[in-house]
Structure 1
Amino acid sequence: MESFEFQFSELIPGLPEELGLDCLTRLPYTTHRLASAVCRRWHQLISSRDFYYHRRKSGATRHLACLIQALPPAYTATGWKLCTSLSYGITVFDPLSQSWDRIPPIPQYPDGLPLFCHIASTEGKLVVMGGWNPETYDPIVDVFVYDFTRCAWRKGKDMPSERSFFAIGASDGRIYIAGGHDGSKNSLKSAWVYDLRSDEWTELPEMNQRRDECEGLMVGSEFWVVSGYDTERQGMFDSSAEVYDLDSGEWRVVDQAWETGRCPRACVGMGKDGKLKNWSEAAPSVRVGACGMVIGTQLLVTGSEYQGAPQNFCLMEREGGQNSKITKMSIPEEYSGFVQSGCCVEV
């Protein structure tokens, strides 16, 4: 937002409106829920989209990593470990305070997230969509939006159709999806955009080819859909990518953008040189099952040294687009589980 106007007098009694707004702008995001309950004026201000963009322009927002992570195993009252399938929740890591937390479960899925669901974030909101029902393994079209201001979930409009293992990206209040496969395991080249503000879906032009198990990446005003494969080429990952220009509404193909035959899921990034990077190559300790995400000026990468090894969490500063020396982090036991995917939330 280029301008910010809120016609409230005495947001804080005794202070000019500008100073009152400055004080509320500086409030940490963790206090927004309580601050919104102070009065109606504060609630309208703090919950508005304009206030979010004002905070971002003022440098008052914070970058968080939101991870779809395996939850700690359950135990009986006598201490025996229950033999149940893995359940996943959403873990939040704040690199500034080095704190770890977990978002409350989605009310419709109290025992764990839908399997292989996708997450993305825009305008301080976290969006979870798709995946499989954790009890029946049936694909679902559910969309859920988490509001950090209210610390609450709301139900969004369902996806237009069943779609699994698709690419996802977010920009300016919209979530973009493309590719994946349908309920019959047929790979897709269709694409859609979900508008959080209107709670509506709009179909986009199709990609040039079908791409199952592709990976999405936002680069400026472009939505990159990396690799994937057609139905007849099961598991044979393509080296190309397709790029959707948000301004022109057109796709273009980028050949030789990715390593042929390598799954791109959760480990694709963009380097300063404009070429795709594989985060599994950041360090030997995260080369297996790598998941990476840029959080502000830092890069968080998780993974294992070898199959079956414990998860490692590494953090590095990114100065001028270049990666500095990577630092291995010490993680609380309850947040050390396998990370399936993640995204950065600016809140």
Structure 2
Amino acid sequence: MGGWNPVSYEPVKDVFVYEFTTQQWRKGKDMPENRSFFAAGESGGRVFIAGGHDVSKNALSSAWVYDVREDKWAELTRMSQGRDECEGVVIGSEFWVVSGYGTESQGDFERSAEVYELGTSQWRRVEEAWNVTQCPKSCVGAGKDGNLFCWAESDSEVRVGACGIEMGGMTFLSGSAFQGGSQGFFLVKGQNGKLERIIKVPEEFSGFVQSGCFVEI
């Protein structure tokens, strides 16, 4: 969903859906707007997207929801501000759009978040939700108290390029100890749990990963 044109490097509208039962790809209905670096989250077979930037690198405040089975898009109300390079995470019945920055403040990441309540279809703004100054992409975690935290700050082994996904009561976490360092893979229990290295990475796969993502199947 989305991404860049490999020739022009401009944001695209493309949507592709992989059917696990048939092991086939199909073309979904295009996103209504070109966008890249946006927040996304899934709940009940619907994909929620918000923020990112357009072809002119303007930060977007618009939001949409895609029904995978119906192959239809529906527009949501806008967030209170544009948020480029924000991160999306679904917590219970809420779609959180974390941090990001405006068009004129590139790289100056917001500490606030915007929360879309799926039951009421309303946004609310949460100040001081992201108390770090780095990009939130792929490294947002949610503690038992509901507060957000950054996996990159949880341990020195994953301070660069941290990427995590919850798996039951554990989190599968990867990252590097320093810029250009080899990637490590860990399991961790809870926000402050000890990292347990689970995979010894073969040398041919041990390079540095600038940006990554996980999918739980």
For 2:205 and 2:47, the matched residues in 1 are separated by 28
Q: Give, as a single letter, the amino acid of the residue that structure 2 aligns with 1:246.
A: L
1:298 equivalent in structure 2: 170
Instruction: Work out the number of aligned pairs and report it.
Output: 215
Aligned match for 1:203, one of 51, 60, 75 = 75
Q: Percent identity?
A: 57
Q: Is the contact between residue 165 and residue 216 of structure 2 (CA under 8 Å) also seen in structure 1?
A: no
Change (3 A) 1:247 1:159: same
Give the AA of the match of 2:55.
Answer: G
3-state SS of paired residue (1:170):
strand
When normalised by structure 1's length, the TM-score is 0.59
Q: Residues 208-231 of structure 1, C-alpha deviation per residue, up to 9 Å, x if partnerless?
A: 111111110100110000011111
1:183-332 matched pairs, under 5 angstroms: 183-318=55-190, 323-328=192-197, 329-332=199-202
Contact 1:245 1:251 in 2 (8 A): yes
Give 1:152 deviation, angstroms: 2.0
- Cα shift at 1:311: 1.1
Q: Describe the shift of the 1:285–1:342 C-alpha distance in structure 2 as closer, same or farther (beyond 3 A).
A: same
Tell me how far apart the structure 2 counterparts of residues 210 and 277 of structure 1 sit (CA, whole Å): 22
What secondary structure, in the 3-state scheme, does the structure 2 residue paired with 1:212 have?
coil
Aligned-partner Cα distance in 1 for 2:203–2:40: 30
Shift of the alpha carbon at 1:308?
0.8
Structure 2 residue matching 1:188: 3-state secondary structure: coil
Kindly state the Cα deviation for residue 332 of structure 1 after the two structures are TM-superposed. Answer: 4.1
* One-letter amino acid of the structure 1 residue matched with residue 34 of structure 2: E
- One-letter identity of the residue aligned with 1:341: G
SS in 2 for 1:150: coil
Between the aligned partners of 1:333 and 1:197, the Cα distance in structure 2 is 42
Deviation for aligned residue 1:306: 0.7
SS of equivalent residue, structure 2 residue 212: strand
1:132 aligns with 2:1: no
What is aligned with 1:47? none
Long gaps (5+) in structure 1: 1-128
Alignment counterpart, residue 164 of structure 1, candidates 23, 36, 52: 36
Q: In 1, distance between residues paired with 2:87 and 2:97?
A: 6
Q: What secondary structure is seen at the aligned counterpart in 2 of 1:181? A: coil
Which fold has the larger relative contact order, with Cα–Cα distance below 8 Å and residues 6 or more apart in sequence? 1
Choose which of 22, 38, 46 in structure 2 pairs with 1:174: 46
- C-alpha root-mean-square deviation of aligned residues, in Å? 1.7
Give the structure with the larger helix fraction.
1
Unaligned runs of 5+ in 2: none
Greater mean deviation of Cα atoms: 326-335 or 269-278: 326-335
Letter in 1 for 2:75: E
Question: Does the 8 Å CA contact 1:167/1:216 hold for their aligned counterparts?
Answer: yes
| Residue 345 in structure 1 maps to residue 216 in structure 2 | yes
Q: Secondary structure at the match of 2:104?
A: helix
Which one has the largest radius of gyration?
1
- Matched position secondary structure for 2:4: coil
